[in-house]
Amino acid sequence: MNHPQDPVRSDIAWATSDRVVVHGLDLVTDVLGHVGLGDFAYLELFGRLPDTDESVVFNALVVALVEHGLTPSALVTRLTHLGAPESLQGAVAAGLLGLGDTFVGTMEGAARYCAEAANEPGWRSDDDALAALAARIAASFLDCRHPVPGIGHPVHKPLDPRAERLFTLAREHGVDPANERLVRAVASAAATRTGKILPVNVTGAIGAIATAMSVPPRVVRGLGVMARAIGLVGHLVEEHRQPIAAHVWHDAEQRATASRSPRR
């Protein structure tokens, strides 16, 4: 039964009794034992394995997103496990659901203005054009009282050391630095206008570098989702050994209702 015209078609993988092929590679002979998880993730996004330089940078981008400590997502995964210990997949899925506009969305925001800038003339070779473009980008957010995506951090200042490291790696491994220059110029423009210390943060660096590596902006959020799934499993491992969810819950509940009930 062959449906050459069938609109329901997927070209990612197929299998026979003795083979599994993923994006054209034989999983058994070409991949297992040879390809690391990060490079296989690259294969899933681009349909080909990365070269050595691409591998270093791509792995660094995703690794930088795995673990950010006791974030709302990590709390959510732990609290969900408290109620449904039978479903590890549910606890991780719940944590992923918080990777939206507030946190990983800033990565997507930075990616988006980098991708749009690709069509603008001049700024790559003309510093005045760069400054003007950056000021326009910063203004497009600040005029609406939105934070500029990819800029600023409560703890890491005056520089976010992760962003600096990722930019250095990217440059050393042949990624076009134009987006780095653009994001830094946007940060300067925003700092000048607001008078605040506004480093390019890790999400800004990732948005800029991923876009330079041809990850589409709407997929950039996916880097955070795949990375954080790993980190949330790690939080469940710690929660098993050193549980905190019940404490967080009881403290919040007690504080929230302390002033409401006549006696308790």
Residues 39-68 that bind a copy of itself (CB under 8 A): 39-41, 44-45, 55-56, 59-60, 62-64, 66-68
Least CB distance from residue 201 to a copy of itself, whole Å?
Answer: 12
Residue type, 52: T
Say how far apart CA 7 and CA 137 lie, in whole Å: 40
Helix (H) or strand (E) holding 21: strand 19-22
Say how far apart CA 142 and CA 186 lie, in whole Å: 11
Least CB distance from residue 93 to a copy of itself, whole Å?
Answer: 4
Part in contact with a copy of itself (CB under 8 A); list of ranges 11-19, 119-127, 130-138, 181-189: 11-19
Q: What angle do CA 226, 231, 237 make, to 5 degrees?
A: 135
How many residues at the interface with a copy of itself, by CB under 8 A?
128
Give CA separation, 108 vs 38, 121, 210, 211, 218, in Å.
Answer: 20, 22, 10, 10, 7
Least CB distance from residue 131 to a copy of itself, whole Å?
Answer: 28
Least CB distance from residue 100 to a copy of itself, whole Å?
Answer: 2
Window 199-258: residues binding a copy of itself (CB under 8 A)? 216, 218-219, 221-222, 225-227, 229-231, 233-238, 240, 242, 244-245, 247-249, 251-258
Note whether 70 and 233 are within 8 A (CB): no
Complex with a copy of itself: residue 45 or 189, whichever CB lies closer:
45
Complex with a copy of itself: residue 101 or 127, whichever CB lies closer:
101
Window 85-124: residues binding a copy of itself (CB under 8 A)? 85-105
Complex with a copy of itself: residue 189 or 200, whichever CB lies closer:
200
Burial class (CB in 10 A: 0-12, 13-18, 19+), 146: exposed
